[in-house]
């Protein structure tokens, strides 16, 4: 549905997006994840025809975003970072206007506006002036605006910004409900959002793609293996030394000395190795009491940090 | 052209949901009503005096009161337009750029030309709405004029105002499209209009090629004929090409937003 090839965008001597390529299949939800300034918004703006690319191509539904811009724009609903609202209009009048410029036929317009308001739960605010709405409602009107012409592709730049936790959950449900019949790209810097809503994730940093995969795969495979958290009734150095001898163990760090003779250790293992039984055997063999032994999955947060920060920064961050 | 109509409708409703349009129209009507009243009274007084002197000393020119009132009134009107059109156009694009709604327009299936024309025709409509009530006074005056008054002149004068106003609106829209600030847009278009006005002053002195060229470019110069009831095709074409140029530049300017860092 969306095909991006070697997309590059430079502003003067700063390259915001650098040879980015990815494909989004019909009905899929793709998440753009990256720190602020990573190039998420720029990529989205190129896809919507708001900005031209410096080089490379992007196609939406088989149309080139630059050469067939109008065809692409007919098929796209777009919520920019700041919802593009006319503050002096009422919600219903605003959505009617958007439906008009999006070429919704006159006989369907009313129904489409009603539908968009219902989906985003703003029907009771239809006669309010947009400037009188709270931040959360404004965001939802922005979302309704992106849906009003029932586009094939929906591009959402940080759709849950400014919403309260309950509204965030509603919007995530809404987005999930739209998948299948719509192809969706959303950007965020909030990690749980990606793992909850997206089928696949593009991690983007400084204009480069750092990784593309499903949230589950990213969590499980990318970093390889799991970590093991261990709580032992033994001397910290002795316990560390004993565990470190086990093949497949990469690194052992003391998490905390719990007092009363116990120590908690975080054991990092090599990819694809499950060393939990060996660790247990070793500890019991030494005659130490074993209080806890459990596998810890790397959170998306850690993978994200790993991928988007330099090694030196990362080392500094983890040693603290 | 459906997109153009959608933009036009939105702009019209935008003018009338905010107090801006009402205030501009009200101020305009108060000023024009005052000028109309003063001109009418003064010219009638003068006419009486002239006919009185004529009775005493004989001779003297016949006084065509309606024509004089109209000519003077529409002369003043062009100066009013000089001040008012920058206020009508200053927010047209600047506000859209500042609020981010330009991003909505530019990612919708409407062409840049449709956006620009929709906005231009909306501001032109507002100008017509402003001008219509002024016709009431003239209608009254012409009905009671003795001998029968020249309606044709009034038509040519309104055509002139519309063309002049359209040219100034096109210019103001362009300046609004180059900035995010309404104030800067207003100052730029006011300055440009003033400059086009003063161009005319210098040209009266000499008659070199340059001065006649400057004289031709002066927007207000071409307006004089209309106030005398003369519709000269070259003047009509001048204003139409001025409007065309303004619209063209605005389309280019809107297009260039895509190429700049947004």
| Cα-to-chain-centroid distance, residue B157 | 12
| pLDDT at position A310 over 60 | no
| pLDDT at position A67 over 50 | yes
Higher pLDDT, A91 or B262: A91
- ∠ CA B150-B152-B157, nearest 5°, is 110
Quickly tell me which residue has 């001779």 as its tokens.
Answer: B59
Could you tell me the two tokens for B30? Answer: 């108060």
Bridge partners (DSSP) of residue A268 are A227, A251
The pLDDT of residue A311: 47
Could you tell me the two tokens for A260? Answer: 């009363």
Could you tell me the two tokens for A210? Answer: 């750092």
Of the candidates B17, B110, B258, the beta carbon closest to that of A101 is on B110
Rounded mean pLDDT, A14-32: 90
| pLDDT at position A225 over 70 | no
In Å, what is the CA distance from A316 to each residue of A245, A249, A319, A320, B221?
A: 26, 22, 5, 7, 74
> How close B176 gets to chain A, by Cα (Å)?
18
| Phi, psi (degrees; rounded to nearest 5) at A83 | -55, 130
Compute the distance between CA of residue B203 and CA of residue A251 in angstroms, rounded to an integer.
88
Q: Structurally, how many domains does chain B consist of?
A: 1
In Å, what is the CA distance from B23 to each residue of B26, B30, B88?
A: 5, 10, 11
Dihedral sign, CA of A17, A20, A26, A27? negative
Compute the distance between CA of residue A96 and CA of residue B71 in angstroms, rounded to an integer.
45
Contact B251, B113 (CB under 8 A): yes
The pLDDT of residue A264: 85
> How close A115 gets to chain B, by Cα (Å)?
20
Compute the distance between CA of residue A99 and CA of residue B225 in angstroms, rounded to an integer.
46
DSSP B35-99: HHHHHHHHHHHHHHHHHHHHHHH-------HHHHHHHHHHHHHHHHHHHHHHHHHTTTTHHHHHH
Per-residue pLDDT tens for A90-147?
999 999 999 999 999 999 999 999 999 998 889 999 999 999 998 888 999 999 999 9
- At a CB cut-off of 8 Å and minimum separation 6, what does B3 contact? A100, A101, A103, B108, B109, B110, B111, B114, B115, B118
Per-residue pLDDT tens for A170-179?
888 888 888 8
Fold of A2-221: Rossmann fold (3.40.50)
Using the beta-carbon criterion (under 8 Å), do B101 and A45 form an inter-chain contact? no
Contact A9, A40 (CB under 8 A): no
Fold of A224-297: Alpha-Beta Plaits (3.30.70)
Higher pLDDT, A105 or A224: A105
Contact B98, B180 (CB under 8 A): yes
> How close A89 gets to chain B, by Cα (Å)?
8
**Which regions of chain A does DSSP assign to beta strands (E)?**
2-11, 14-24, 29-33, 55-60, 63-64, 76-79, 153-157, 183-188, 200-205, 208-213, 227-232, 249-259, 262-269, 290-296
Compute the distance between CA of residue A316 and CA of residue B85 in angstroms, rounded to an integer.
61
Higher pLDDT, A105 or A320: A105
Question: What residues in A contact B97, CB-CB < 8 Å?
Answer: none
| pLDDT at position B42 over 50 | yes
The pLDDT of residue A151: 93
Per-residue pLDDT tens for A249-272?
878 887 766 567 788 888 887 766
Contact B141, B216 (CB under 8 A): no
Compute the distance between CA of residue B14 and CA of residue B92 in angstroms, rounded to an integer.
10
Question: What residues in B contact A153, CB-CB < 8 Å?
Answer: none
Of the candidates A50, A86, A93, the beta carbon closest to that of B103 is on A50
Compute the distance between CA of residue B9 and CA of residue B238 in angstroms, rounded to an integer.
29
Contact B138, B39 (CB under 8 A): no
Q: Which residue range forms the structural domain that includes residue B233?
A: 2-259
Paired sense of beta strands A183-188 and A29-33, if any:
parallel
Higher pLDDT, B144 or B113: B113
Compute the distance between CA of residue A90 and CA of residue A130 in angstroms, rounded to an integer.
6
Contact A262, A236 (CB under 8 A): no
| pLDDT at position A318 over 50 | no
Rounded mean pLDDT, B234-258: 93
Locate the domains of chain A by residue range: 2-221, 224-297
Question: What residues in B contact A103, CB-CB < 8 Å?
Answer: 2-3, 109
Using the beta-carbon criterion (under 8 Å), do A101 and B6 form an inter-chain contact? yes
Quickly tell me which residue has 């000023």 as its tokens.
Answer: B31
The predicted model scores a pTM of 0.82
Quickly tell me which residue has 């000499």 as its tokens.
Answer: B206
Using the beta-carbon criterion (under 8 Å), do B101 and A100 form an inter-chain contact? no
Bridge partners (DSSP) of residue A254 are A265
**Which regions of A48-130 does DSSP assign to beta strands (E)?**
55-60, 63-64, 76-79
| pLDDT at position B153 over 80 | yes
| Helix (H) or strand (E) segment spanning residue B164 | helix B151-177
> How close A49 gets to chain B, by Cα (Å)?
6
The pLDDT of residue A309: 62
Contact B193, B86 (CB under 8 A): yes
The pLDDT of residue A316: 44
Paired sense of beta strands A200-205 and A227-232, if any:
unpaired
DSSP assignment letter at A123: G
Confidence of residue B262 (pLDDT cuts 50, 70, 90): very low
DSSP B166-185: HHHHHHHHHHHHT-S-HHHH
Bridge partners (DSSP) of residue A78 are A155
Compute the distance between CA of residue B230 and CA of residue B68 in angstroms, rounded to an integer.
14
């Amino acid at each position: 549905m969306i095909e991006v090839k070697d997309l590059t965008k430079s502003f003067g001597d700063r390259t915001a997006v650098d040879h980015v390529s990815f494909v989004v299949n019909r009905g899929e939800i793709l998440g753009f994840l990256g720190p602020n300034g990573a190039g998420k918004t720029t990529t989205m703006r190129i896809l919507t025809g708001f900005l031209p690319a410096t080089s490379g191509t992007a196609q939406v539904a088989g149309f080139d975003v630059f050469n067939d811009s109008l065809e692409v724009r007919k098929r796209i609903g777009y919520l920019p970072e700041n919802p593009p609202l006319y503050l002096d209009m009422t919600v219903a009048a605003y959505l009617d206007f958007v439906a008009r410029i999006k070429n919704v036929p006159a006989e369907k317009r009313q129904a489409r506006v009603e539908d968009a308001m219902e989906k985003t739960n703003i029907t009771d605010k239809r006669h309010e002036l947009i400037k009188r709405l709270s931040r959360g409602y404004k965001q939802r009107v922005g979302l309704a605006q992106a849906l009003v012409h029932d586009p094939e592709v929906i591009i959402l730049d940080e759709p849950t910004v400014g919403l309260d936790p309950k509204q965030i959950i509603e919007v995530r449900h809404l987005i999930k409900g739209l998948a299948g019949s719509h192809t969706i790209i959303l950007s965020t810097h909030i990690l749980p959002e990606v793992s909850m809503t997206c089928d696949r994730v593009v991690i983007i940093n400084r204009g480069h793609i750092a990784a593309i995969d499903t949230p589950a795969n990213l969590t499980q495979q990318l970093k390889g293996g799991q970590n093991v958290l261990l709580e032992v009734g033994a001397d910290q150095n002795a316990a560390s030394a004993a565990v470190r001898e086990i093949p497949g163990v990469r690194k052992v760090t003391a998490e905390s000395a719990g007092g009363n003779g116990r120590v908690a250790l975080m054991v990092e293992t090599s990819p694809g190795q499950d060393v939990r039984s060996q660790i247990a055997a070793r500890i019991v063999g030494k005659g130490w009491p074993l209080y806890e032994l459990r596998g810890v999955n790397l959170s998306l947060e850690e993978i994200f940090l790993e991928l988007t920060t330099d090694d030196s920064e990362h080392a500094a961050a983890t040693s603290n | 052209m459906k997109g153009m109509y959608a933009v036009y409708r939105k702009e019209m409703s935008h003018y009338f949901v905010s107090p801006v349009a009402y205030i501009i129209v009200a101020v305009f009507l108060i000023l024009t009503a005052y000028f109309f009243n003063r001109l009418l009274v003064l010219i009638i007084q003068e006419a009486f005096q002239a006919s009185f002197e004529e009775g005493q000393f004989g001779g003297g020119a016949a006084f065509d009161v309606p024509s004089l009132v109209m000519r003077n009134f529409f002369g003043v009107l062009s100066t009013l337009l000089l001040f008012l059109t920058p206020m009508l156009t200053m927010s047209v694009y600047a506000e859209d750029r500042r609020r981010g709604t330009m991003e909505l327009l530019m990612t919708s299936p409407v062409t840049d030309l449709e956006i620009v024309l929709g906005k231009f025709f909306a501001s032109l409509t507002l100008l017509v709405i402003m001008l219509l009530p002024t016709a009431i006074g003239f209608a009254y005056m012409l009905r009671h004029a003795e001998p029968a008054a020249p309606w044709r002149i009034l038509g040519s004068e309104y055509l002139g105002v519309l063309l002049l106003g359209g040219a100034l609106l096109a210019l103001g829209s362009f300046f609004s499209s180059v900035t995010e600030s309404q104030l800067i847009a207003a100052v730029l278009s006011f300055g440009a209009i003033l400059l086009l006005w003063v161009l005319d002053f210098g040209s009266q002195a000499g008659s070199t090629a340059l001065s006649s060229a400057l004289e031709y470019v002066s927007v207000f110069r071409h307006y004089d004929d209309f106030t005398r009831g003369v519709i000269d095709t070259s003047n009509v074409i001048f204003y139409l090409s001025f409007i065309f140029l303004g619209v063209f530049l605005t389309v280019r300017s809107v297009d260039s937003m895509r190429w700049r860092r947004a």
